Amino acid sequence: MADLILFNKPFQVLCQFTDEPAGNEQTSRATLADWIRIPDIYPAGRLDYDSEGLLLLTSDGALQHRIASPGQNMPKTYWVQVEGNLSTSALDKLTAGMMLKDGPTRPAKARIISEPEIWPRTPPVRRRDTIPTSWLELTITEGRNRQVRRMTAAVGFPTLRLIRYRIGDWTLDGLEPGKYRKIPINLPTPSRPGKRSTHKRSATSPRRGRSS
């Protein structure tokens, strides 16, 4: 058994437990430590500072690997508010996959949705009276840096607000911003003595270091 923490990360919170102001920065930014007071847990994957929604944390290295490793292809679903009236051709490009600067994306699932019933963001998303906005539900199986934002920009619809709703079978349902829930997870039975394991354990433990 292992514990998994489901956390609804608010806007402008670092996906780490410490922040070291760099350059001319005078104050630290909000971190996970401002919301979660559970020792020895680590994010399984990351979520950008300016993105909101579901973040998974655990103290178990094997579980962290299952969730965060790119080779696991775990699907992640996002609710994305974009600038402009989203077109069918843009959806087709998102679904088929596209070329970004770091290579082609895998095919995704994309559909236009009504504005979801969610909390107001603080500060609110900038609005322009002459430019409409659309909501998109996008499911990907990758985790590249700022991938969703780069994908919507590449098809001509810049992201205004980004909320991760689902990772695998876990969702935001029932979680207000800044709140978390702990659930037990049954891990696979370890290999029997004498049988060679195909899983290579990392030489270093997960760290709560500063993300790039």
- The residues carrying an active-site annotation are 48
Alpha carbons 182 and 53: distance in angstroms, whole number: 16
Neighbouring C-alpha atoms within 13 Å toward the C-beta of 112 = 14
Alpha carbons 165 and 33: distance in angstroms, whole number: 22
Alpha carbons 72 and 67: distance in angstroms, whole number: 7
> What phi, psi does 11 have (nearest 5°)?
-65, 140
DSSP calls for 104-153: EPPP-EEEEEPPP--PPPSSPPP-BTTB-EEEEEEEES---TTHHHHHHH
Alpha carbons 100 and 147: distance in angstroms, whole number: 9
CA dihedral 25→30→32→34, nearest 10 degrees, is 130
Alpha carbons 163 and 137: distance in angstroms, whole number: 10
> What phi, psi does 101 have (nearest 5°)?
-60, -30
Report the helix count and the strand count for the chain, using DSSP H and E: 3, 11
